A = this chain, B = another copy of it.
Amino acid sequence: MLRQAFFSVNAQSVKQVETSAQVSGSQGKSQGRRTTIYDIAELAGTSPSAVSAILNGSWKKRRIAETTAQRVIDIAEAEGYARNLQASALRSDRSNVIGMIMPKYDNRYFGAIAEQFEAKARARGLFPVITCTERDPELEVAAAREMIGYRVDCIIATGATDPDRITRTAAAAGIRTLNLDLPGREAPSVISDNYNGARELALLLLDRIGPASGPLLFVGGRGTDHNTAERIRGVRDAHEARGLALPESHVLTCGYASDKAQSALDTLAFDVPEALFVNSTISLEGVVRWMRSNGQTLPFGCFDWDPFAALLEENVGMVKQDVTALVSTIFDRLDEPSGEADVIQIPCILCTE
């Protein structure tokens, strides 16, 4: 670990830092109180009420003189005024913060959801706040409680293990909840059409390996979660459509961690089938690692898309969830009046490469 003055490693600029330390040191606390609307009111020769209205944009209805408004805005700028949004939220009972709870950031699906959620939230004038809870049910409610404490306007529970618990906790504080990716019974949900996505991908795989070839091996996910259950149902129906059966032994719901998938394959009690249906890119990491270390090159399909996994030679197809539609639909549901606790399903896109 190297420790050095700024850019000193860089041959291009050996210049030393001069002001920085003092600057950051002298600002803030030592400079005394932060500027408030009272300071600005005094400076501008008007009332705090007027300043408040001008600075939060509600002044058009207040018929405040254009010149006063401009003066106040200029002074605020010059003073480096930053409205205290906590105080504002406390008083007005609207935080303008929208929270999202997310399991992980380790795949493109959740990453894309996070980015689009933030963009859409900002477009509505809301401040987006995301927190990731590692698929841990306790952490999920703890994070929800925290967001409730900060009085967010709404919580979107993405891929939550127990969305209904979050909904009930939030409801007790008068805060709405919406479910994304994994459905709940007590709040509106938007999820992918897992059944049809999985069914199409399974048909593609079965037709690739040919009619005489046995059943697929399903790898990954939690047997208890709604999406995995639906995908298994889709895979099973695809088998049936081709006159095959999917035995229980061929369904390895070993969880989402990649090691789990790898060791599930290592300890398989029978010959590995001719093609694999992998239930997430995370599980796929373990599957491909297992193939590489066992000299196998089995065709696979994966529910969820990743740009590099798509380029692997064994890849037959990937199901890409329609993040744009998912996120925009969840924002539409924010506007629904009462909030029927039904679920909207969004079709997936099958990417064959």
A positions within 8 Å CB-CB of B: 1-7, 9-12, 17, 19-21, 23-25, 27-29, 31, 34, 80, 82-87, 89-90, 95, 97, 104-106, 108, 110-112, 114-115, 118-119, 127-132, 134, 145-146, 148-151, 167-169, 171-177, 183-187, 189, 193, 195, 226, 229-230, 233, 258, 281, 284-285, 288-289, 292, 306-309, 311-313, 325, 329, 338-347
Q: List B contacts of A10 (CB < 8 A).
A: 226, 229-230, 233
The reply to whether A17 and B342 contact each other, CB–CB distance below 8 Å, is: yes
Q: List B contacts of A342 (CB < 8 A).
A: 3-6, 17
Tell me how far the C-beta of A167 lies from the nearest C-beta in chain B, rounded to whole angstroms: 7
Among B4, B23, B230, B343, contact of A343 (Cβ-Cβ < 8 Å): B4
Can you give 8 A-B contacts (C-beta < 8 A)?
A: A6-B183, A7-B183, A12-B229, A105-B111, A105-B112, A105-B115, A106-B111, A119-B134
The reply to whether A345 and B2 contact each other, CB–CB distance below 8 Å, is: yes
Q: List B contacts of A341 (CB < 8 A).
A: 6, 17, 20-21, 24
- Copies of this chain per assembly: 2
**Known contacts A11-B233, A233-B11; A25/B339 CB under 8 A:** yes
Q: A1-B329, A2-B344, A85-B150 are in contact. List 15 more A-B contacts (CB 8 A).
A: A3-B345, A9-B195, A10-B229, A21-B339, A24-B186, A27-B174, A28-B171, A28-B172, A86-B86, A105-B105, A105-B111, A105-B114, A106-B108, A115-B132, A130-B130
The reply to whether B20 and A186 contact each other, CB–CB distance below 8 Å, is: yes
Cα-based distance from A110 to B17 in the complex (angstroms): 28
Cα-based distance from A151 to B150 in the complex (angstroms): 12
